[in-house]
Structure 1
Amino acid sequence: MALDQYQEEEEEGGMSFLDHLEALRWHLLRSVSAILIFTVIAFLAKSIVFGIIILGPSKIDFFTYRWLCQLSDYVGVPALCIDELPFTIQSRQMTGQFSMHMTSSLMVGFIVAFPYVFWEVWKFISPGLYDKERNAARGAVFFVSLLFFLGAAFGYFILAPLSINFLANYQLDPSILNEFDITSYVSTLTMLVMASAIMFQLPVVVYFLAMSGLVTSGMLRSYRRHAIVVILILAAVITPPDVISQILIAMPILVLYEAGIQIAKRLEKKRAIKEAEDDVDDAL
């Protein structure tokens, strides 16, 4: 059966189990193809992707470091300026540079293709929703993609450089030199960026849970202290073992948790208004 026929059946909701699997296969193939296309582009643009983007936080002229130095001059606090990164990056394995070139290209390809990938996922899921649920989730692709990019930007421009600076300047003894392997550097940067991007999806998760009635604003407020502990634990797990990184990623997540409370509260008000209108219509 042609792809267009599968899509038409998917929209009509008359697909069999095997047809759903076939449709899912096409959605996955298109998603993977998009990631691979951007991965190849990133791989070919080595000087930009690796030399500027990936290695950016390891260089003293990185945007965040320059901005902190400008801020230190403005507020008169010299300690804010990061003007030295006492470490070098090495490749101790024969395949180290090539494998990290592949890894970084794949990471960039996935981040760039994320809106399209999520759109394909949503296109597969949405036909199974009721009209009411589909209307309530309108704009999901935009907001999920926006939060994903905000989280990735936070991880790249804030969390990663400050974590790298802390770890680069941490010494047990002056005789010990910080010579990081390229594998360690890229994996740490990837973990920080992707963890931030995923954690920033909290408002979306709260929205769908509140829409389905699984959580309420009152429940979120009552479990606020527990949520703070869980967020701090997650921050400790996904960040390098330094307090600064944990606090940096925990703070925006706490703000997003509070935003989730307001989202749930707004949904409850809309639901109450709708129920009141339905009661009036029934009375008439």
Structure 2
Amino acid sequence: MSVENEEQEMTFWDHLEALRWTLFRAVVAIVLMMVAVFCAKEWVFDVIFAPKNSTFYMYKWLDIIGQNLHISSLRFEDFNLKLVNYELTGQFMVHLNIAFWLGLILSLPYIAYELWRFVSPALYPNERRPIVWTFVSGGLLFFLGVLISYSLIFPIAIRFFFTYQVSPDIVNMVSLSSYISLFTTTLICIGAVFELPILVYLLSKFGILKREFMRKYRRHAVVIIAILAGIITPADPFSMIAVCIPLVLLYEASIYVCKK
């Protein structure tokens, strides 16, 4: 009996059972990644806490650029952001929180593979290649967004918020939970934003979104991106441009993948 005939003979309950095992394997993958991240505590938090010190490579690069281009806002003295913990269980809960989110992020490729295994038998051969492209491209774009967020956007945000003062009489004391909250939120949000080309591709495939519409409102999109960049970056042109460029390129890529 061929695989196609066997799939056609599967009942609703057979598909439900297959879905149950797919979800089970995905949950197991997440748990295993969580355990791995939890056990690698020192290395993981060394990476997470690297942007809170002026020795972080991005700060050094910004300082060099500021020195060469004479941009004073990119020049800064050495700093070391001291984190404080106000709750007895705070550090343990932060450890669990990071283990969960990083475990989920790192297990996404396997989860995508499991979803592909579940849906692929129901697809025609000519439908499988676009779906594979969607899964692979979506994963690569998400991790690219996470990398850019960690290397550029999060450090810029940390430096801005830590040095910002409404009065010199007020000293910033940053809690561990607020630092981790900004870290996870920034990484996940920027990673999700980088899924824009995939979302546009799917919407255009179903006829919901047209390329002409995105071209028509390109200027509006650039203005919105500039406003968002101005919110999360210091008030200097270079920092805003550094954040705007990836997002604008992302929008242009979305226009490219959008069907006519």
Please, what TM-score do these two structures have when normalized by structure 1? 0.78
Please state how far the C-alpha of 1:247 moved relative to its aligned partner. 7.3
Task: Provide Cα deviations, 1:168-219, integer angstroms capped at 9, x if missing partner.
Answer: 0011111211111111110111000110101001111112222333322112
Corresponding residue number in structure 2 for 1:193: 187
**Residue type of the alignment partner of 1:54:** I
Counterpart of 2:115 (choices 109, 117, 121) is 121
- The change in CA–CA distance for 1:227 and 1:71 in structure 2 (over 3 A counts) is closer
The answer as to whether partners of 1:91 and 1:181 remain within 8 angstroms in 2 is yes
Counterpart of 2:257 (choices 260, 263, 267) is 263
The answer as to whether partners of 2:160 and 2:233 remain within 8 angstroms in 1 is no
Alpha-carbon distance in structure 2 between the residues aligned to 1:76 and 1:229: 27
Please state how far the C-alpha of 1:243 moved relative to its aligned partner. 7.0
Corresponding residue number in structure 1 for 2:48: 54
The answer as to whether partners of 2:37 and 2:99 remain within 8 angstroms in 1 is yes
Alignment of 1:1-284 (within 5 A): 12-50=7-45, 52-85=46-79, 87-225=81-219, 227-228=221-222, 235=228, 251-264=245-258, 267-268=259-260
Alpha-carbon distance in structure 2 between the residues aligned to 1:217 and 1:143: 20
Please state how far the C-alpha of 1:141 moved relative to its aligned partner. 2.7
Alpha-carbon distance in structure 2 between the residues aligned to 1:16 and 1:37: 32
Alpha-carbon distance in structure 1 between the residues aligned to 2:21 and 2:209: 34
The RMSD of aligned alpha carbons is 2.9
Please state how far the C-alpha of 1:164 moved relative to its aligned partner. 0.6
Task: Provide Cα deviations, 1:146-179, integer angstroms capped at 9, x if missing partner.
Answer: 1011000111111100001000001111121111
The answer as to whether partners of 1:72 and 1:81 remain within 8 angstroms in 2 is yes
- Identity level (%): 36
Please state how far the C-alpha of 1:73 moved relative to its aligned partner. 3.7
* Unaligned 5+ runs, structure 2: none
- The change in CA–CA distance for 1:13 and 1:65 in structure 2 (over 3 A counts) is farther
SS of the equivalent of 2:256 reads: helix
Please state how far the C-alpha of 1:16 moved relative to its aligned partner. 2.7
- The change in CA–CA distance for 1:67 and 1:228 in structure 2 (over 3 A counts) is closer
The answer as to whether partners of 1:203 and 1:257 remain within 8 angstroms in 2 is yes
- The change in CA–CA distance for 1:222 and 1:129 in structure 2 (over 3 A counts) is farther
SS of the equivalent of 2:132 reads: coil
Alpha-carbon distance in structure 1 between the residues aligned to 2:233 and 2:62: 23
Number of positions where the alignment pairs a residue of Structure 1 with one of Structure 2: 255
After the TM superposition, which parts of structure 1 deviate over 4 Å for at least 4 consecutive aligned residues?
8-11, 225-233, 239-251
